[in-house]
Structure 1
Amino acid sequence: MTTADARDESEVAASARELLAAMMLEPAGRVTPSVYETGRVVADAPWLTGHERRLRYLLDAQRFDGGWGGAGGYAVVPTVSAVEALLGTLRGAPASAPTGLAAAASRGVGALAGWLERGTALPDTPAADLIVPALVERINDHLTYFAAQGDRRFADGLRALPAVDRRRLDAVHALVAAGRPVPQKLLHAFEVLGPLAHRHRGVVPVAGAVGASPAATAAWIGDPEAPGADPEALAYLQTAVGPLDGPVPCCTPITVFERAWALSSLARAEVPVRPAPKLIADLAAALGPQGVPTGPGLPADADTTSVTLYVLARLGHPVDPASLLRFDLGTHFCTWQGEDGRSVTTNAHVLEALGWHARHTAAGASRYGGRAAALAGWLGDEQQPDGSWADRWHASAYYATSCVVTALDRYAPAGIGGPAVDRAVDWLVATQRADGGWGRWAGTAEETAYALHVLLGIRRPVRPGVPEAIRRGLHHLSEVDDQHADPPLWHDKDLYTPVLIVRAAVLAARQLTMTRSGLVNNPDRSPLRSRTAVS
């Protein structure tokens, strides 16, 4: 390693120590604000401190075309939430509404009408098929009210939004109205029930939160002055808006999720940092016989459980992964019981957890080796024709591909993962952008980091074009790293960024740049030929 490389590695380690310190200082986790969630808190908790700031955030976040949120169908959920919140504010407290609210609402209704009439497809984000019909109905109710009042702000050219499929929403309403138990997976979007959600006796907040969601919690609280108000739920909401009483994230807290994902990225890249014993102890304590959830009030899930198990093993504190077996569907693992759909990244993380124990523990080979091998085969079958993978928890195929390739390269039996990994590498080389970065909509530091994790981290013979792709990718990463915020890419009810998780991914790419620099300078040798650390 050159003197410059040693200096760079020291800087990466220093940045990683700062990241670990931030996780300890902010145990709830650092997540970007959510237009969707903020709109629901504006609508259902106007009494919460910072209401005016949240309205201003919605106005400032509106796009030129009248919508909110990400590209394409990703705009629909945040836009219906923002529009309904603005119309509800104008209807309920018009005197206190900021200037520009009516114009913003009109532009939003116009954008929504166009998307719904064209049948814009919704991405596979949580509860989208419940959220959109619930809020379209409320928007239309507001528009009917304004029309009856002769309100000229909404009388010219605006009409009711087109009807959308509400069969699943109607089924959920019927289930809850009949007094049947509320499915735990519904709690994260409990706000879709409207008045039925208020103090529902079948729902008990966990650490003050309903489904780890400010929106769901605000809908459950209803009127904070009504008898029997839950002080812990009120405190949760106050914490969610933060010290500045501002917009809110979709999911909070994300303590275990943030720590497990960030530490696993650093561990895979062998960033030379040692987490505080308390951080490791907290992760171990979070694991129960059912696994661990992403946040309070959410069901335990195979994704968070497997990453937690894997990172504890990599840090020298292995825990038997038996809790994962309750998610085993035979062909693959569900993220949680009753999941609609399947996730390749969840299964890639399960492969890492099972594969590590199969390789490194006495009983692991016989207990988990066969299941890991079968899961590797399933992941290979899920590869797209172009060589990538796509997933339901992230908008970018670069994230999914990085997760799957990393797992296959390290833990798939010989002969199972190699061809799939090679096709993925060829896809990465072919889809690099002119500026050297990678990204679904534009080159980003996050997605470029995921591509470099693959190109610098795998143990396969070097494919054509890889060294040059790495050089260009490193240049792009050095140009954009820490200079601007990337667009949100992670799936919740709308797109968000888990800030420290993404920062850890970028630091891991920078670390790989130094420890695998021989691949760039000597393309004929495998990037991991001299690797000695336990993987």
Structure 2
Amino acid sequence: MTALNPCPATITAPSLPAGGIQAGGTGPQRDQAALDAHPDEITAAARELVAGLGTRPLGQVSPSVYETGRLVTLAPWLTGHAERVRHLLVTQRTGGDWGVHDGYALVPTLSATEALLAESRRRSPGHARDRPAAAADRGLRALREPLRRASGEGMPDLPAIELIVPYLVTAINGHLRAGALPGAAPLAPPSGAAADRVAALGAALRAGATPPEKLLHALEVTGTAAHRAPGVRPAAGTVGASPAATAAWLGVPGTAGLDAAAVRHLEEAARPHGGPVPCGLPITVFERGWVLSWLARAGIRVTVPAVLTESLAGALAPGGVAAGPGLPADADTTSVALYALTLLGRPADPEGLWPFRAGPHFQTWRGEDGASTTVNAHVLDAFRAHAARYPDASPRYAAAIAEVAGWLRAAQRPDGDWTDRWHVSPYYATMSCALALDELGGPAPEVAAAVRFVRESQRDDGGWGAWRSTAEETAYALHVLTLTRAGRRDPGRPRACAAGRDFLLRTAEHAVHPPMWVDKDLYAPSAIIHAAVLGALALTAGLDAAAAGHPPSRIPT
């Protein structure tokens, strides 16, 4: 690991040979004209974004229905309780469920339904209790088919879902047995939901056991056993970087020590959205690594305050880097932090990644069930940047690069795209994998196939999206078309990029980014998404937006 540098770093546009890396950055060549068009607006927006990383160090994340529901149940004493209840009521969909995407509605709908049942039972008989109860009744009706379907098709691939579902089904059935909704039949958990494991975890906590580190993020599933569990100790006021887990550990708060720190953390988590809370907070290192590396990869010139660079360098450890306090180290955050530091001129040895190796690929965290394409793409970025900068590095880097690249090639789907467990859109995974493989140099038929997938899936409005066009997914598609050699050679690239850029300029300033990143609930890390959008605008700035048939618009801020 290199020594800390007290001076600010500057993100600059890398000037690189095809397939090569020079001091000062990594990444493919790009047209200088595209970087110099509208530089003031893009740079000003990027400068404001980078400044926000320092003023909002916990991270900028959308509120979660799941996590907000848990605080309604677990912390009704916390400031913002009425606003959290109101958030659940106004975000319920017409079908009675919650969530943005049907395939991921099970967990937020269970959480919101249980929370509104708990709220209804807390209210006195003379209180206007009908609205939470009525919403809970609609939620209960909406749950039966997804729970039945989950038994046959399996549950969505969300962290701890096999524990969360039985925990919430049991809690809802407890409310029903107490008469919360007279006449309502109890819910049946889907097969594969580990009710016995939830009970065993609770018993172990009561006996003083230290839970597995990655369980801390979902400690609330253990119910009352989490309350002041002797084997759990908050880190920087948070348990598992989760408001729900922190509230479950805290119970009814005291006024000093760890209690006061936990209350402050919950208040800080609730403040940005006026009551509702995100699934994961803080995400300090995760957010800074992604924002700074994406701006740099797109060639946006911004001076980075030394405190941000040092926060990435200081987080490096032999066991890897965590996204934020209270979370276990993971290969994804470690890789992106390393890659960002390389782009900032502060390269560090990627030794912290080796504990995550699992044969030909790397795990997100040790003991992960399943595997992630984007994590391995980011590992490839970090290893290749290090090996190219230090040619005499251990031969094991070359072997790992070859194995991970082969693993990624085998994971590509027939249409030319990739999918991933940490993001519901194929465009995020396709961008991550295509860019990592393209930087290896040499023939890259898989990258050409990814470019064809992107070009052929562009929508009539100029954007891209798995369900509808979004600014986030359009940005990822434009990164593929502009940052890969196959993309730059594609004869349809100019028109596709012009239409995509125009879509961003018409929509991004007022866009509400739908949550597509995967945690216990889907979420949107707004600063990271904004960095991707600004990068796409910088990379396409030299193109004629009028070619898409629309007048140019303002750069979003």
User: TM (normalized to structure 2)?
Assistant: 0.87
Report Cα offsets for 1:46-105 as digits up to 9, x if no partner.
111111111111111111111111222211100100000000111233455665111111
Distance of 1:329 and 1:117 partners within structure 2: 35
Q: Name stretches of at least 5 consecutive residues in structure 1 with no aligned partner.
A: 522-535
Secondary structure of the residue aligned to 2:279 is coil
- State the match for 1:124 in structure 2: 157
Out of 140, 154, 159, the residue aligned to residue 109 of structure 1 is: 140
Distance of 1:85 and 1:226 partners within structure 2: 26
- State the match for 2:408 in structure 1: 379
Letter of the 2:139 counterpart: G
Pairs within 5 Å for 1:143-154: 143-146=176-179, 154=181
Report Cα offsets for 1:355-414 as digits up to 9, x if no partner.
00111124336351221122111111111111111101111010010011111111x252
Q: Please state how far the C-alpha of 1:244 moved relative to its aligned partner.
A: 6.7
Pairs within 5 Å for 1:452-531: 452-460=478-486, 462-463=489-490, 465-514=492-541, 517=543
Out of 213, 216, 230, the residue aligned to residue 245 of structure 2 is: 216
Query: Cα distance 1:104–1:434, how it changes in 2: closer, same or farther (>3 A)?
Result: same
Report Cα offsets for 1:268-325 as digits up to 9, x if no partner.
1110112112211121111122121012111100000000000001110001001111
Please give the root-mean-square deviation of Cα atoms over the aligned residues, in Å. 2.3
- State the match for 1:39 in structure 2: 69
Please say if 1:160 is aligned against 2:196. Answer: no
Out of 146, 155, 172, the residue aligned to residue 139 of structure 1 is: 172
Q: Please state how far the C-alpha of 1:468 moved relative to its aligned partner.
A: 2.7
Q: Please state how far the C-alpha of 1:514 moved relative to its aligned partner.
A: 2.6
Please say if 1:444 is aligned against 2:470. Answer: yes
Contact 1:437 1:472 in 2 (8 A): yes
Letter of the 2:40 counterpart: S
- State the match for 1:82 in structure 2: 112
Contact 1:211 1:295 in 2 (8 A): no
Distance of 1:349 and 1:3 partners within structure 2: 28
Please say if 1:17 is aligned against 2:50. Answer: no
Secondary structure of the residue aligned to 1:204 is coil
- State the match for 2:442 in structure 1: 414
Letter of the 1:45 counterpart: A
Q: Please state how far the C-alpha of 1:4 moved relative to its aligned partner.
A: 10
Out of 68, 81, 87, the residue aligned to residue 57 of structure 1 is: 87
Q: Please state how far the C-alpha of 1:208 moved relative to its aligned partner.
A: 1.1
Query: Cα distance 1:245–1:478, how it changes in 2: closer, same or farther (>3 A)?
Result: closer
Out of 243, 267, 280, the residue aligned to residue 251 of structure 1 is: 280
Letter of the 2:369 counterpart: D
Distance of 2:192 and 2:251 partners within structure 1: 24
Distance of 2:264 and 2:143 partners within structure 1: 34
Report Cα offsets for 1:436-466 as digits up to 9, x if no partner.
1111111000000000000011023623533
The structure, 1 or 2, with the larger RCO (C-alpha pairs under 8 Å, 6+ apart) is: 2
Distance of 1:500 and 1:11 partners within structure 2: 17
Secondary structure of the residue aligned to 1:274 is strand
Report Cα offsets for 1:472-496 as digits up to 9, x if no partner.
2122122111122121111111111
User: TM (normalized to structure 1)?
Assistant: 0.90
- State the match for 2:384 in structure 1: 355
- State the match for 1:528 in structure 2: none
Query: Cα distance 1:121–1:379, how it changes in 2: closer, same or farther (>3 A)?
Result: same
Secondary structure of the residue aligned to 1:488 is coil
Tell me which moved more, 225-234 or 95-104.
Answer: 225-234
Q: Name stretches of at least 5 consecutive residues in structure 2 with no aligned partner.
A: 1-30, 548-557
Please say if 1:196 is aligned against 2:229. Answer: no
Q: Please state how far the C-alpha of 1:230 moved relative to its aligned partner.
A: 2.3
Contact 1:37 1:215 in 2 (8 A): yes
Query: Cα distance 1:4–1:204, how it changes in 2: closer, same or farther (>3 A)?
Result: closer
Contact 2:237 2:265 in 1 (8 A): yes
Aligned-residue identity in percent: 51
Distance of 1:5 and 1:278 partners within structure 2: 27
Out of 42, 47, 72, the residue aligned to residue 102 of structure 2 is: 72
Distance of 2:272 and 2:517 partners within structure 1: 25
Distance of 2:362 and 2:186 partners within structure 1: 42
Contact 1:73 1:121 in 2 (8 A): no
Tell me which moved more, 235-244 or 350-359.
Answer: 235-244
Contact 1:130 1:166 in 2 (8 A): no
Please say if 1:271 is aligned against 2:300. Answer: yes
Distance of 2:99 and 2:296 partners within structure 1: 33
Contact 1:90 1:101 in 2 (8 A): yes
- State the match for 1:300 in structure 2: 329
Contact 2:123 2:129 in 1 (8 A): no
Distance of 2:271 and 2:130 partners within structure 1: 25
Please say if 1:319 is aligned against 2:352. Answer: no
- State the match for 1:527 in structure 2: none
Contact 2:165 2:189 in 1 (8 A): no
- State the match for 1:524 in structure 2: none
Letter of the 1:91 counterpart: R
Letter of the 1:185 counterpart: K
Letter of the 2:367 counterpart: G
Out of 370, 388, 393, the residue aligned to residue 364 of structure 1 is: 393
Contact 1:13 1:273 in 2 (8 A): yes
Please say if 1:401 is aligned against 2:430. Answer: yes
Contact 1:351 1:372 in 2 (8 A): yes
Letter of the 1:300 counterpart: A
Distance of 1:298 and 1:10 partners within structure 2: 38
Distance of 2:36 and 2:427 partners within structure 1: 29
Letter of the 2:64 counterpart: S
Q: Please state how far the C-alpha of 1:122 moved relative to its aligned partner.
A: 2.8
